[in-house]
Amino acid sequence: MLSVEHVKFSYKKERPILQDISFELNEGECLCLLGPNGTGKTTLLKCLLNEQHPAGGRIILNGKEIRHMTARERAAQLAYVSQSSQMAFPYSVEEVVLMGRIAHMGLGAAVSDKDRRIAWEMMARLGIEKMADENFQVLSGGERQMVLIARALAQQARYLILDEPTAALDYSNQVKILEMIQSLSKDGYGVLMTSHFPDHAFLVCDKAVLLRNGHVLAFGPPDEVVTGKNLTELYGVPVCVAETLIKNKSSQTFQKVCIPMMKKEETMK
């Protein structure tokens, strides 16, 4: 379990960024972290990655506080996929995925056959093995995101933190990434993803955390906490959560969707 217990953080004493943040994530679950810009989502991720140290509270990963773990211990259990996909050098796709194996290599050790086998297994899982020799920098945004997820999987950590994994992607690539996230959680990975689209919580997540002004506005199953009332309070604009019936040849299901209640000018007569 990844457990966040009463975490507090501030860059300056007079301006707290995080205040009494608590939630938990188990293996096999996907959690969506929602909130407007400037509400503390990035700072919270930095605390989870031990890049920032909370002023109060604890972050516990499988029974041990993250701040007491070595970098290698953390990397063996927790992998991170950032929004940025730029590389300083023209690495190939295979080389980028192999970077995920660094946590398992000794100082100065060369890439082993096992490392290459695991990298290829993860590329095959995401359907990108045919791009192994291509320059990472010339790939599309969706392809680069798949490569970065493959790198995280090659790290063989059971918890994944994905910072806005669908940002700047077209509709098709967003769906592909969301389907991959859903598949990973079903396979036993604990996935924490941030998003600016509350519908993502309904589509692929088991839990949602609504973060506003450094506080947890709500935490729990999306059906219970991603409501019109909560979203209106979270984003400061009127939002309606509606339920639509989706039919196909063999079945029918209900799907919740979030609809912004935009102001419309009266039609001129």
pLDDT in tens, 169-212: 889 888 988 999 999 999 999 999 999 999 999 999 999 999 99
- Dihedral sign from CA coordinates of 98, 169, 223, 4: positive
Whole-number pLDDT of residue 234: 95
Give the confidence band of 269 by pLDDT, cuts at 50, 70, 90.
very low
Residue 137, helix vs strand vs coil: helix
- Dihedral sign from CA coordinates of 86, 87, 92, 94: negative
Mean pLDDT (whole number) for 147-164 = 92
**Closest Cα to residue 195, out of 31, 9, 10, 7?**
31
Alpha-carbon distance of 120 to 137, in angstroms, equals: 19
Mean pLDDT (whole number) for 138-144 = 87
Q: What is the distance, to the nearest Å, from the Cα of residue 132 to the centroid of all Cα atoms in its chain?
A: 24
Of 7-11, 13-17, 241-245, the poorest mean pLDDT is in: 13-17
210 with 226: CB under 8 angstroms? yes
Percent of the chain with pLDDT strictly greater than 90: 62
Contacts of 175 (CB under 8 A, 6+ apart): none
Higher pLDDT, 13 or 97: 97
Of 7-11, 39-43, 100-104, 112-116, the poorest mean pLDDT is in: 100-104
Task: State the number of CA atoms in the 13 A half-sphere of 122 facing the CB.
Answer: 27
| Terminal CA-CA length for the chain | 61
**Closest Cα to residue 203, out of 172, 234, 179?**
179
Mean pLDDT, rounded, of the chain: 89
Alpha-carbon distance of 186 to 180, in angstroms, equals: 10
Percent of the chain with pLDDT strictly greater than 70: 94
| Bridge partner list, 127 | none
Alpha-carbon distance of 207 to 211, in angstroms, equals: 13
User: What are the DSSP calls for 198-261, one per residue?
Assistant: THHHHHH-SEEEEEETTEEEEEE-HHHHS-HHHHHHHHSS-EEEEEEEEE-SS-EEEEEEEEE-
111 with 72: CB under 8 angstroms? no
Overall residue count recorded for the chain in this entry: 269
Of 25-34, 83-92, 115-124, 213-222, the poorest mean pLDDT is in: 83-92
pLDDT in tens, 86-125: 777 888 999 999 999 888 776 667 878 999 999 999 999 8
Is 128 a residue whose pLDDT tops 50?
yes
Mean pLDDT (whole number) for 214-238 = 95
Whole-number pLDDT of residue 106: 67
Strands 190-195 and 56-61, bridge-based pairing? unpaired
Q: Give Rg (Cα) of the chain.
A: 20
